[in-house]
Amino acid sequence: MSTTTSGTGSSAAADGGGDEGSGAYDARFRVWRGDVEGGDLEDFTVQVNDGEVVLDIIHRIQATQAPDLAVRWNCKAGKCGSCSAEINGRPRLMCMTRMSVFARDEVVTVTPLRAFPVVRDLVTDVGFNYTKAREVPSFVPPKDLGPGEYRMMQEDVDRSQEFRKCIECFLCQDTCHVVRDHEENKTAFAGPRFLMRVAELDMHPLDAAAATGLDRKATAQEEHGLGYCNITKCCTEVCPEGIHITDNALIPLKERAVDRKYDPLVWLGNKIRRRPTS
């Protein structure tokens, strides 16, 4: 992951030269500049060429007008999750937002993620997410299988594999109103990305957490704040990987928590049959 303050973009157009042929025009940008002490939106008029994305334009601004503009980026292919920002108020990856989606006379506003502490300009401190990641107990290997002996049917891992597409851009964490609009909830709530991680492990066919006394269904509710989620689906809306976070992870996890905590029939059935997992 790179945090640059100088023009190191790989785009041929980043230096301001670019293809000045058909389709080139001057766009108006407003980019938030500042740090934790304060800042404001700064206006730029910058050239846009055919096929460019917002990150190209930010790099051009950096190369031609604001060499000290801080922006975090890396792959420019929507796979590293570094260039998360808010473009016209919507959490998006700058490298995956084509300029062609905007009208030519539209002012494009780019700000840092507004749920996390700002470091400088478009760079935020996303350490909250790494802390939350460490709070989720990792995969527990089954005792009777050694490395290389794991065998799983495809249908058993399909669900978890969808969640493994996550590139950890943290756009879902940024847009989730539970922490975005309520700083005080950051202690209690893990956020959609890490509740999805809990769901992934709970659905994993070989995870042996239950054998060690770790009930992921109950801890999702009690330690990771699943109850704070009111399933308004913003995490799903902003996911650049198209993961159905709410429908395939959060709601199933809520239903699993209901099995453990709120459904007396399931509780009774498990007591009688003594079959905790199937």
Partner 1 sequence: MATGTEPHLKKGTGPGGVRHGTRAAITAAHLRTDRWWLQPAATAAGLFAFVVYSTWRAFANADYYEAPYVSPFYSPCVAENCEPMRNGPNWEIFGSWWGLSPALLILIFPLGFRLTCYYYRKAYYRGFWASPPACAVAEPHAKYTGETRFPLILQNIHRYFFYAAVPVAGILTYDTVLAFRNEDYEWGHMGLGTLVFLVNITLIWAYTLSCHSCRHIVGGKLKHFSKHPVRYRMWRWVGWLNGRHMLLAWASLISVALADFYVYLIASGAFDDPRFF
Q: Does 131 bind partner 1 (CB under 8 A)?
A: yes
Q: Does 15 bind partner 1 (CB under 8 A)?
A: no
The SS3 call for residue 86 is strand
Helix (H) or strand (E) run with residue 180 in it: helix 177-180
Q: Does 112 bind partner 1 (CB under 8 A)?
A: yes
Q: Does 180 bind partner 1 (CB under 8 A)?
A: yes
Nearer to partner 1, 231 or 268 (CB): 231
Residue 244 half-sphere exposure toward CB, CA atoms < 13 A: 8
> Tokens 């108006």 sit at which residue?
28
Q: Does 228 bind partner 1 (CB under 8 A)?
A: yes
Which positions from 135 through 154 interact with partner 1, judged by CB under 8 A?
135, 153
The only residue of 42, 215, 223, 241 in contact with partner 1, by rule CB under 8 A: 223
Contact stretch for partner 1 (CB under 8 A) within 16-24, 45-53, 61-69, 110-118: 110-118
Bridge partners, 92 (sequence order)? 85
Contact stretch for partner 1 (CB under 8 A) within 21-29, 57-65, 68-76, 251-259: 251-259
In whole angstroms, the minimum distance from the beta carbon of 97 to partner 1 comes to 13
Task: Output the CA–CA distances (angstroms, integers) from residue 157 to 25, 128, 163, 221, 238, in the order listed.
Answer: 48, 29, 10, 23, 24
Please state, in angstroms and rounded to a whole number, the distance separating the CA atoms of residues 179 and 110.
21
The only residue of 24, 88, 96, 218 in contact with partner 1, by rule CB under 8 A: 88
Amino acid at the residue 28: R
Q: Does 227 bind partner 1 (CB under 8 A)?
A: yes
Please state, in angstroms and rounded to a whole number, the distance separating the CA atoms of residues 217 and 236.
21
Q: Does 261 bind partner 1 (CB under 8 A)?
A: yes
First to last CA, the chain: 41
Q: Does 111 bind partner 1 (CB under 8 A)?
A: yes
The only residue of 9, 18, 81, 91 in contact with partner 1, by rule CB under 8 A: 91
